[in-house]
Amino acid sequence: MSNVSSLSSVRPKVLEFFAGIGLARIGLESAGFNVAWSNDFEADKKAMYEAHFKDTASGNDHTFALGDVGEVRVGDLPKGSSVAWASSPCTDLSLAGGRAGLAGKSSGTFWQFIRLLEELGDDRPEVVVLENVTGLATSHGGDDLTAAIRAFNGLGYSVDVLALDARRFVPQSRPRMFLVGALNPPENAVTPNSELRPDWLQWIYGDDTLLTHKATLPLPPAPLTSGLGKVIEEMSLDDERWWDEERTDLFTKSLSAVQDERVVAMKRSTGVKYRTAYRRTRNGVPVWEVRPDDVSGCLRTARGGSSKQAVVRVGNKRLQVRWMTPREYARLMGADDYDLTTTRTNQALFGFGDAVAVPAVAWLAKHYLMPMITGVMKPAAVESETVAANG
């Protein structure tokens, strides 16, 4: 048995930057990858990560580097990785403050990611992925997205840009953008998928100073229009987590006329429905807004009350409200079985609200990343003239 390679050693290796609580890892490994190294600077996220994966106890050859990515040195990274995944904070792509100091500690975290890829030299991964909010496409008039693509181009990567909403897999509206960079890009699709590359992304491919490609990909599942009720935790009507009468009354009084009419109609209806609600500030006044459909709003980092999502149980002449639970957050992120036994509530809400949905990663890994790594996607023919990566 000593001569038999471990399963992890034969699976394509991944570097997981800005790992958070490891939801990208779950999606990548479900598609056959081996996440060998991870990094994040928040101790609470690392604690959740290790409680779930239990790498030390299971004997997995995995390293979690806690700390600022600016402190990571190229020698810390395992060799022979096929993919580098990064869910970098969107604010760190800003050009404000200048890009000159890529090697400087004060540079944005995205640029530290680029620094490490550059320092890997010939050992840099064949594929890189940057996951971010869709607002990146318009941030600073598109300059931030252009800068990110140019940075990858400068390292030899052609870039494809996809928009994918977690709502195609789970009942949560969570649109995200994925930049997929490839050293050996696949052939361009004859008919590019417009659902993955909507009109508001087409300007990228029309910029002839950028090196881009459009891989042939299958249609993702259609966006869900229901399913929230199926992820709600079962609990008795007298559970202490349901708000008391006074707090529920304040919730109702904060609703706008349109919102109140909607809730009253659902309250009078037969059967129980579940909806989600956010507290927002309108004209300087905090109000609650209830979604009209059986889908959750986008989960956010729970730094304050306005970021936390509430569950509304309504119907059969009854209205009850409470905060969404960590398990419900996990289910809405496609991490139904995530180990939460040692996790504090706010720790969990923050971790999931700041993460990428597992099934979106799994879909991308299965239909795009793994086919490129294994050669299933035919590489594009080498052109006689190359596009200048930096304009």
Catalytic residue positions, numbered = 90
Q: From the centroid of its chain, how far is CA 249?
A: 36
Q: Which amino acid is at 3?
A: N
Determine the 3-state secondary structure of 285 from DSSP.
strand
Task: Provide the β-strand partners of residue 17.
Answer: 86
